[in-house]
Amino acid sequence: MSELTNRPGKPIRRPDRRHTAGALDIRNIIGALLSTYGVILALVGLFGDADTDKTGGVNANLWSGVALLVVGGAFLAWARLKPILVPEAKPDQDGETAE
């Protein structure tokens, strides 16, 4: 498999080519943070001191942790199922990519 080149070692970039944002997609970052906090709160709710007198008999840490896990998972699934496509940089007159 050989790539088209206009200079030795530099492939020609096609303007119609795109790639995904990947880890830099903000939905991945938000989903990871919410999921991390959700795991921490769920573990505190399960294994920590459940002071349910202040919350009316509800384990607030557990339920807020579960809610954060669901929302974080939704963000991660959204980023996986519908990724953002980023166009590649177009080369200028000299063949260098514009920054």
Q: Which range has the top average pLDDT, 10-24, 25-39, 40-54? A: 25-39
Give residue 10's pLDDT: 63
- How far apart are alpha carbons 20 and 36 in whole angstroms? 24
Q: What is the mean pLDDT of residues 70-87?
A: 88
Give residue 44's pLDDT: 94
Whether 30 is covered by a domain: the verdict is yes
- How far apart are alpha carbons 39 and 67 in whole angstroms? 10
User: Are residues 83 and 93 in contact, defined by beta-carbon separation less than 8 angstroms?
Assistant: no
Whether 50 is covered by a domain: the verdict is yes
- Per the structure, the count of domains in the chain is 1
Whether 99 is covered by a domain: the verdict is no
How sure is the predictor about 1, in pLDDT bands with cuts at 50, 70 and 90? very low
Whether 76 is covered by a domain: the verdict is yes
Whether 8 is covered by a domain: the verdict is no
Predicted confidence (pLDDT) per residue in 33-70, tens digit: 999 999 999 999 999 987 788 888 899 999 999 999 99
User: Are residues 66 and 59 in contact, defined by beta-carbon separation less than 8 angstroms?
Assistant: no
Whether 91 is covered by a domain: the verdict is no
**pTM, whole model, 2 decimals?**
0.66
